[in-house]
A and B are shown apart, each in its own frame.
Chain A
Amino acid sequence: MPIREIRFVRLVRHFFAGFMDNDLLMSAENGMQNALSQVLGLAVAPGLFYCLLITMKYGAVRYPRREIMAWDDRLLFVHCAMIVTGLLTVVEWDSLFPDQRDYQILTPLPLAMRLVFLAKVSSVLLLLVIFWAAGNIGPAILFPLVALTGAEVWFSILQHIGAQLAATFAASAFVFLLAIGLQGLLLNLLPPRWFRRVSVYAQLAALLALVLGFLLMPLVLANAGMWIRAGRPAMYLVPSFWYLGLYQVLAGRATPAFAALAALGVKALGAAAAISALAYFAAYRRHARRALESFDAGRSGTGFLSRAVDGVCNRFVLRHPLERACFHFMRATLLRSQIHRLLLAAYLGVGFALALCLVGFARSTAGRPTPELLSVQLVLSFFVLCGMRFVFTVPAELRANWVFQVAEPFGKSPYGAGVRKCIFAFGVFPVLAGLLPLHAFFWGWAVAGAHLLYGAALCALLVEALMMGFEKIPFTCTYLPGKANVKALWPLYLLLFWAYAYAMANLEAGLLARPLRYAAFCAGVAALTVVLRWYRHRQLGRGFHFLFEDVPDPAVRTLDIGY
Chain B
Amino acid sequence: MLEVHGLTKCYSVVPAVDDVSFTVRPGEILGYLGPNGSGKSTTVKMITGLLEPTRGQVLYNGQNIQADLAGYKRRFGYVPEEPFIYPYLTGREYLLLVGRLRCLPEKALGERIDVLLGLLGLASDRHSLLSSYSKGMRQKILIAGALLHDPELLVLDEPLSGLDVTTALVLRDLVSALARRGKIVLYSSHVLETVEKICSRVIILKRGRIAADGDVRHLRDLAQAPSLEGVFAQLVLQQDTSRTADDIADAIALG
**A residues at B contact (CB < 8 Å):** 294-297, 299-302, 314, 321-322, 324-325, 328-329, 332-333, 336-337, 396-397, 399-400, 402-410
B65 to chain A, nearest CB (A): 12
What are 17 A-B pairs with beta-carbon distances under 8 A?
A: A295-B132, A299-B129, A300-B127, A321-B104, A321-B109, A322-B103, A332-B93, A396-B88, A397-B85, A399-B84, A400-B86, A404-B101, A408-B70, A409-B73, A409-B102, A409-B103, A410-B70
* Contact of B188 with A by CB under 8 A: no
B97 touches A328 (CB 8 A): yes
B128 touches A397 (CB 8 A): no
User: Knowing that A408-B70, A409-B73, A409-B102 are A-B contacts, what are 20 other residue pairs whose CB atoms are under 8 Å apart, sorted by A's residue number?
Assistant: A294-B132, A296-B131, A296-B132, A300-B127, A321-B99, A321-B103, A322-B100, A322-B101, A324-B106, A325-B101, A329-B89, A332-B88, A396-B86, A397-B87, A402-B50, A406-B48, A406-B49, A407-B74, A407-B101, A407-B102
Q: A406-B48, A406-B78, A409-B103 in contact; A299/B90 too (CB < 8 A)?
A: yes
B226 to chain A, nearest CB (A): 39
* Contact of B20 with A by CB under 8 A: no
B43 to chain A, nearest CB (A): 15
B128 to chain A, nearest CB (A): 5
Residues of B near A314 (CB, < 8 A) are: 106
Docked CA distance A507–B159 (Å): 62
B88 touches A333 (CB 8 A): yes
B129 touches A409 (CB 8 A): no
B103 touches A336 (CB 8 A): no
Docked CA distance A321–B109 (Å): 10
* Chain A to chain B: the 6 pairs with minimum beta-carbon distance, closest first: A325-B100, A301-B127, A407-B101, A336-B88, A296-B132, A399-B84
* Contact of B39 with A by CB under 8 A: no
Docked CA distance A119–B90 (Å): 35
B73 to chain A, nearest CB (A): 6
Residues of A near B145 (CB, < 8 A) are: 403
B157-199 vs A, Cβ < 8 Å mask (1 yes, 0 no)? 0000000000000000000000000000000000000000000
Residue of B nearest to A323 (CB): B100
Which of these, A299, A301, A397, A410, contacts B84 with CB under 8 Å?
A: A397
Residue of B nearest to A327 (CB): B100
Residue of A nearest to B127 (CB): A301
Residues of A near B106 (CB, < 8 A) are: 314, 321, 324
Residues of B near A301 (CB, < 8 A) are: 126-127
A98 to chain B, nearest CB (A): 17
Docked CA distance A107–B143 (Å): 33
Docked CA distance A295–B87 (Å): 13
Residue of A nearest to B124 (CB): A297
Q: A294-B132, A409-B101 in contact; A328/B96 too (CB < 8 A)?
A: yes
Q: How many residues from B make CB contacts under 8 Å with A?
A: 40
* Contact of B31 with A by CB under 8 A: no
A196 to chain B, nearest CB (A): 10
Residues of A near B93 (CB, < 8 A) are: 328, 332
Which of these, B82, B89, B131, contacts A332 with CB under 8 Å?
A: B89
A405 touches B50 (CB 8 A): yes
Residues of B near A408 (CB, < 8 A) are: 69-70, 73
* Contact of B98 with A by CB under 8 A: yes
A439 to chain B, nearest CB (A): 35
Residue of B nearest to A399 (CB): B84
B115 to chain A, nearest CB (A): 17
Residue of B nearest to A405 (CB): B50
Residues of B near A400 (CB, < 8 A) are: 84-86
B85 touches A409 (CB 8 A): no
B98 touches A403 (CB 8 A): yes
Docked CA distance A301–B98 (Å): 19
Residue of A nearest to B126 (CB): A301
- Which of B74, B76, B88, B125 has most A Cβ within 10 Å? B88
Residues of A near B103 (CB, < 8 A) are: 321-322, 409
Docked CA distance A214–B207 (Å): 58
- Which of A301, A321, A322 has most B Cβ within 10 Å? A321
A325 touches B97 (CB 8 A): yes
A402 touches B80 (CB 8 A): yes
Which of these, B76, B82, B125, contacts A399 with CB under 8 Å?
A: B82
Docked CA distance A324–B106 (Å): 9
A324 to chain B, nearest CB (A): 5
- Which of A299, A300, A332, A403 has most B Cβ within 10 Å? A403
Which of these, B71, B109, B128, contacts A297 with CB under 8 Å?
A: B128
